[in-house]
Amino acid sequence: MLTTPLALSSTVCGNQVFHWGSRTYVMGIINLTPDSFSGDGVGDDVDAAVARALRFQEEGADILDVGGQSTRPGHSPISVDDELRRVIPSLEAIAAAVDLPISVDTSRPEVARRALQAGASMLNDVWGAATATNLAPVAAEVGVPLVLMHNQQGTHYHDLVPDVAASLHAATQHALSVGLSWECIILDPGIGFGKTAEQNLELLRRLSDLRSLGRPLLVGTSRKSTIGLVLDLPVEERLEGTAATVALSIGGGADIVRVHDVKEMVRVARMSDAIVRGWRAAG
């Protein structure tokens, strides 16, 4: 049985402190892949990666998420060396150019360690709930936040939302057992990973059920195929669909939203926060 252990409190990430519950934080995606499903991968173009990071900072992002391994359906895995060659030069350049904390999207301890040395201050593992002890010791050693995302092979569930919650709870306990602090754990229900479109929609509809886990929730719906299926639109025309999912995720309790379109989703988050968390006119 899941219970709420401790208050969400705050999490230190690089030079920032995330005060959970005060507002929604926006994570801007920087794909260093040539085959990103969203069509915005910059590959090994360091200048393009830095330009995007600077633009996201200007548009109001709170954190950047840099990744060099595609996670789109049917992707071909790359070697550790290739992932390092993609990630480290751009990450170092981005860290030197912006004031925002940087998350690295990887499931490999070798990449995570090098990324932290290069300037990253958060680890984001798409297999985090399945292999919680994989990156947790690295995060614990350095004292950085770790995103544990639910993912699985196949889409069979006994009961979708309780199953996802149980998996995230188990991952949290494993991470704590290897020395990661409570404040450093962030949970992601894994929209679009190991789930059908119908399951993704149900999970979003019942997102508030995951608040019982007691940790901040990161939700990534941006441009994903579920939006395309519902609206019958290609990836480049999913802005409004993304906005709807971001707004409703915030209504369901999301603390971080991971997005491609930072300027627009910052506005969506601010408006949603005004409704969900309250707002008063200045003066």
Q: Which of 258, 263, 277, 280 is catalytic?
A: 258
Angle at 31 between CA 26 and CA 37, to 5 degrees: 100
Continuous segment of H or E residues that includes residue 117: helix 109-118
CB–CB of 189/219 below 8 Å?
A: yes
206 noted as active-site residue: no
Tell me the CA distances in angstroms from 252 to 45, 171, 247, 249, 273, one per residue in order.
37, 22, 9, 5, 11
> Is 263 among the residues known to form the active site?
no
Q: What are phi and psi of 185, to 5 degrees?
A: -100, 125
Among residues 114, 195, 224, 238, the one annotated as catalytic is 224
Where b means 16+ CB within 10 Å and e means fewer, 44-83 reads eebeebbebbeebbebebbbbbbbbbbbeeeeeeeeeeeb
What is the rounded distance in angstroms from the CA atom of residue 85 to the CA atom of residue 159? 41
Among 201, 143, 193, CA closest to 168: 193
Residue 66: beta bridge partners? Answer: 30, 104
What burial class does residue 138 get, using C-beta atoms within 10 Å of its C-beta: 0-12 exposed, 13-18 middle, 19+ buried? buried
Asked whether 256 and 219 are in contact (CB, 8 A), the reply is yes
- Residues recognised as catalytic: 224, 258
